[in-house]
């Protein structure tokens, strides 16, 4: 899990050993099957470039539809 704003609070509120909290977006994208972007922070604009060339390609779920469908190979826009 990675959030550039709420990491400290998330660690306090969500205490689950199955969650790995990461200090950077790049670290959070290592060895993943899926990625869910809930808040369109500016840092997340890098996601399509960081996922390009990955095999297997992780599923990218965009809850705010802040990204273009074609920007990521396996894209699902839901919500707003």
What would the mean pLDDT of 53-68 be, rounded to a whole number?
94
**pTM confidence score:** 0.85
* Alpha carbon distances (Å) from 18 to 1, 3, 15, 22: 10, 17, 9, 13
Q: What is the pLDDT of residues 4-48, one digit of tens each?
A: 999 999 999 999 999 999 999 999 999 999 999 999 899 999 999
Strand partners, 34: 59
Rounded CA-CA distance 33/65 in Å is 20
Query: Is the pLDDT assigned to residue 75 strictly greater than 80?
Result: yes
């Amino acid at each position: 899990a990675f959030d550039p704003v709420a990491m400290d609070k998330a660690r306090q509120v969500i205490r689950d050993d199955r969650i790995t909290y990461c200090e950077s977006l790049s670290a959070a994208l290592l060895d993943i099957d899926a990625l869910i972007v809930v808040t369109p922070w500016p840092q997340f604009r890098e996601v399509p470039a960081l996922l390009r060339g990955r095999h297997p390609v992780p599923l990218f779920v965009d809850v705010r539809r802040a990204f273009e469908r074609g920007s990521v190979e396996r894209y699902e826009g839901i919500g707003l």
